Structure formats: C-alpha cells, structure tokens
Amino acid sequence: MRTDRTFTMLKPDSVEKGNVGAILEKITAAGFRIVALKLTQMTVADAEAFYTVHNERPFFRELVEYMTRGAIVVAILEKDNAVEDFRSLIGATNPAEAAEGTIRKLYAASIGENAVHGSDSDENAEIESQFHFSEREIF
C-alpha cells in the first residue's frame, strides 16, 4: 500500500466562507502535490456511508446534516509520509486544541464544523479516495 498519498475534504463551512483558495494555498505551500481535485456534494446516503464508523456517536446526525448541507472540495494529496504530515498541518479535531498556524486553528469554528478532513491511516486514505474519485480523475 502506498504511504505517499492522503485524502482530504474541505467541508461545507470552508466553501461557504470562501476559504477554499487560502486552504489549498496552505496545503501546496506545505509541499503537498494535488493529484485529484473537485467540487462536489454528498447525499445523506453518501455521508452515512462515509462516516459509518461514527454511526453510534451522539453527534452522528449532526455530522451527516453538516456534511450534506452544501458543496465540499475533495482532493487527493501526494507527499512523503502524507497521512501523518497532513494531520499535523490541519491540527487537532477540536480547533480550540489545534496548534497555532494549523488549518483548523486558522479556519475552523468548532469541533463539529472543523473546516477540513484528513484521512487517519494509509488504508482509509485509499478507501476514502476511491469513495470520491474514479481512476481517470486521479493523476
């Protein structure tokens, strides 16, 4: 399994606030190469499937509603040690705990509306990439 790619979503709050350009700039400035990119919107069924690991959590319905309420930007990013380095770049899930300079510290409003997603393992990066992209959309 390749270890040099990760998957990200710029969530509806990032699109609504006009932060997509600034966030992509931070991502590429940190050395990630964009190998797939598109604007899309998840259906309720998509979000329930994507976040199935969280389906017993008390925030699950809120999460599905948030992630389906508008457009998102999905991307596959390439860099050595991509999963770990990208999670460092985005910062902690809760922006109140995120380090200075991280994407969530700069752009996230709350633990629920936290601006960006980053895969938590190489295996999930592959699964999540295939969820959103066909082979011919990946370069």
Please identify every residue annotated as catalytic. Answer: 117
Q: Mark out the alpha helices in 17-81 (DSSP H runs).
A: 20-29, 44-50, 60-68
Closest approach of Cβ 36 to ligand CMP, in Å?
A: 18
Contact segment (CB under 6 A) with ligand CMP among 21-29, 57-65, 68-76, 77-85 equals 57-65
Q: Is residue 112 a contact residue for ligand CMP (CB under 6 A)? A: yes
Q: Is residue 63 a contact residue for ligand CMP (CB under 6 A)? A: yes
Binders of ligand CMP among 115-134, rule CB under 6 A? 117
How large is the angle between the packed helices 122-132 and 82-90, nearest 10 degrees? 80
CB contact burial 92-101 (16+ within 10 A = b; e otherwise): beebeebeee
In angstroms, rounded to a whole number, what is the distance separating the alpha carbons of residues 134 and 111? 30
In the three-class reduction of DSSP (H, G, I as helix; E, B as strand; rest coil), residue 95 is classed as: helix
Q: What share of the chain is helix, strand, coil (3-state, %, to 5)?
A: 45, 15, 35
Q: Is residue 114 a contact residue for ligand CMP (CB under 6 A)? A: yes
Q: Is residue 6 a contact residue for ligand CMP (CB under 6 A)? A: no
Selected binder of ligand CMP within 41, 68, 93, 124 (CB under 6 A): 93
Closest approach of Cβ 112 to ligand CMP, in Å?
A: 4
| Binding interface with ligand CMP (CB under 6 A) | 54, 59, 62-63, 93, 111-112, 114, 117
